[in-house]
Amino acid sequence: MRRASLIGGRIRIVVVLAAAALAAAALVASARAAPIKGATFVSGTWFSAPSFLFFTTAGGDPADGLTGLGCPFIPQPAPTEAQTSRLTYAYNGWIGPIQDPDSNPNEQVLLRTHAAGTVEDETGSTYHLSGDFLDSSTHFLFDPELFFDGFGQVTLAGSNGVVVGNVELRLVNGPADYAFVFTSIKQCTVGGAG
Cα dist. 82→129, 158, 174 in Å?
14, 18, 15
Residue 90 bridge partners (DSSP): 45, 114
**Could you read off the pLDDT of 107-159 as tens digits, one per residue?**
999 999 999 999 999 999 999 999 999 999 998 887 778 889 999 999 999 99
Cα dist. 98→27, 34, 105 in Å?
28, 15, 6
DSSP 176: T
Least trusted range by pLDDT, from 28-32, 98-102, 185-189: 28-32
Does residue 11 have a pLDDT over 90?
Answer: no
Residue 192 or 156, more confident: 156
pTM recorded for the entire structure: 0.79
DSSP 124: -
The mean per-residue pLDDT over the stretch 25-52 comes to 74
User: ∠ CA 25-27-28 to the nearest 5 degrees?
Assistant: 65
**Could you read off the pLDDT of 169-183 as tens digits, one per residue?**
999 987 889 999 999
**pLDDT at site 141:** 82
Residue 31 or 161, more confident: 161
